[in-house]
Amino acid sequence: MSQAEWEGYLRGWRRGIAEEETALENRLAQARSSLPALVETLSQYGATEIYLFGSLCTGEFHLASDIDLGVRGIPLSVATVKSP
């Protein structure tokens, strides 16, 4: 591989890393900003305690991460999904 090819490869690699970092920052901001609406909705259904746990808390959040919530207080009649 020539010096020019190597430098082109490095530029592309660095650009890819920067794009991944930006995507992760955007996804993390989206996840954090959705928390108040999630809490509000769960509270409307009767939640008395809502716990956030998992990668959003530990700093291990990545692009495929979800939001882990533990919820207490929603009546079983509301929380149960019935099949048609």
| Per-residue pLDDT reduced to its tens digit, 55-64 | 999 999 999 9
Yes or no: say if 84 and 55 are a contact pair by the CB < 8 Å rule. Answer: no
pLDDT tens digits for range 36-49: 999 999 999 999 99
Say whether pTM exceeds 0.75. no
Per-residue pLDDT tens for 14-39? 999 999 999 999 999 999 999 999 99
The residue with tokens 């660095």 is 14
- The pLDDT score that the predictor gives to residue 58 is 94
Q: Does 84 map to a domain?
A: no
Q: Which domain holds residue 64?
A: 3-79
Question: Has residue 1 got a pLDDT over 70?
Answer: yes
What does the pLDDT read at residue 82?
66
**Strand pairing report for 68-72 and 49-53:** antiparallel
Residues 43 and 49: their CA atoms lie apart, in Å, by: 9
DSSP β-bridge partners for residue 71: 50
In a domain, 75, yes or no: yes
Q: Is the dihedral angle over the CA atoms 43, 45, 51, 55 positive or is it negative?
A: negative
Only one residue has tokens 């700093």, namely 59
Q: Tell me if 71 is assigned to some domain.
A: yes
Number of domains the chain contains: 1
